[in-house]
Homo-oligomer: A and B are copies of this chain.
Amino acid sequence: MLSPKTHGPLSGLVVIDLTRVLAGPYCTLMLADLGARVIKVEMPVLGDDARHVGPMIEDGQGGTISGYFFSINRNKESIALNLKLEADKVIFDKLLASADILVENFTPGTMARLGYDWDTVHARHPSLILASISGFGQTGPYRELPAYDMVVQAMGGVLSLTGEEGGPPTRVGVSIGDICAGMFGTIGIQAAIIERIRTGLGKHVDISMLDSQVALLENALVRYQAEGVVPGPIGSRHPSITPFGVFKAKDTYMVVAAGNDRIFPRLCEAISIPEVANDARFMTNLLRCEHHAALKVRIEQALAGRTANEWLKHLTALGIPCGPVNDIAGVMQDHQVKARGMLMSQLLPNGRPIITAGCAVQFAGESMPPATPAPALDQHREALLKELGI
C-alpha cells in the first residue's frame, strides 16, 4: 500500500498520473501542491513528451533537460511503465489498488485499448475516480480527433476575440486551452472526492479542452444574441467598459481602468483634463464606449507628459485603478508577486535554482512547504516497488 502525504488539504489522497505535456500535468500539479501524493507513470525511455519541449537547459552532465517540464511537475514522483507489457501492468494494477484518483489525457479510446476503460476500472476499483482530459471530451462527433491548445483556442472562439481591431486572430500568449482544462479537471476531481465521501463510489470526470474554452466566453455569447453583431478583436480595450485598457505614457504603456461614472471624472481631474469629464460624448460609460477612440486620443495626449511610473504613483495615490504592463522580467521583480510566494524556486539537477510560478490557491495564515523539484524519469521506481511489496 502507498502511504499518502500528511500535509495540505488533499493529504490522504493518492493520484496515479498518466498525463503528458500540459493540460493533465497542470491538473495534477495543483493536486500535488494541495497535498495529494502524485505518482507520474511515464513511458520508458522517452517519458512525458514535455521532457523534450524547450526551453532546454544544460543538466551539468553533458546533456540537457527541459525547463518547461520543471514548470509543471514539481512535487511529483516518477515511475516508468509500459502499459502494453503484462509485467508492467501488474505493477500498474497494484498502484491503482492503492490509489484514489487516476488521471489521463490520452485521446479517447486509448485507455480502452490499454484495458483501462471506465467500466473495467470501475468494476475492479469501485471507489477510484477516473479523470479524463481530452481535446473534445468523451462524447460527441469530434471525440476521437486530436487537439492541441491552439486548436481549441481557435475553435472555442477566444482567438476570434483577441487581437487588434480589424487584424488577424491572435493567440492568447499562454496556453489557456490546456491550462483551463487542467483547472476544470481539478475542480471535477475534487467534486468527485466530495461525492465519494458520501457514496463510497468513484466517478468518471470528463473534461474537454473545447468545452473549457467555451466556458470562458462570459459576455461574448450574450452580446452576440443581444446585439446581433459577431464580436471581434478590439485590441486592449474592454467591449463594454471605457476607459479600461492600455494607454501610452511618455515612455511606455500602462493600464487605466476607470470605466465607472464615479471614477471617470476623478481620472480626468488627476491627469489635468477636467474639461473631458464634461464633454457630452464622454458623460456616461455607454457614451464613452461609443466614442472610445476619441477618448483614447485625449487620454494619451494627457499622459504623454510623464512616464508610466510617474503616472502610476500619482493615480494610485488618488485611488484610481491602474497598473504597469509588466513583461516577464517585471513580473519577476514585482514586490507583490514576491510577497505572495508566487515565485517558487526548485533545484535543477545541475545544482542551479530555477524559478517557476507558485500555486495560486492559497490559505490565509498557511504557507506552502518547499517544493520538491520535478522528478527524473523513473526516479522513484525502487522506492515505489518496495512500498508496494514487489
Contacts and interface: CB of A to CB of B under 8 A. Distances in A.
A160 B327 contact: yes
Contacts of A339: 139-141
Contacts of A170: 162-164, 170, 233, 235-236
Interface residues of A, number: 152
Contact of A323 (B67, B152, B354): B152
A316 B360 CA distance: 37
Interface stretch (A37-45, A76-84, A86-94, A192-200): A192-200
Which one of A132, A236, A316 has the greatest number of beta carbons of chain B within 10 Å? Answer: A236
A71 interface: yes
A39 B147 CA distance: 38
A161 B142 contact: no
A96 interface: no
Contact of A226 (B56, B215, B238): B56
A288 interface: no
A324 B330 CA distance: 35
27 contacts: A54-B223, A54-B226, A54-B286, A71-B219, A137-B336, A140-B340, A145-B321, A151-B321, A152-B323, A154-B255, A155-B334, A160-B173, A168-B246, A171-B234, A171-B235, A171-B237, A171-B238, A173-B220, A180-B180, A184-B360, A194-B197, A204-B365, A210-B337, A215-B359, A222-B355, A224-B332, A225-B355
Contact of A255 (B10, B151, B164): B151
Contacts of A222: 55, 57, 67-68, 70-71, 354-356
Interface string A330-350: 111011110110110000000
B240 A55 contact: yes
A72 B215 CA distance: 10
A186 B187 CA distance: 7
A54 B240 contact: yes
A217 B26 CA distance: 12
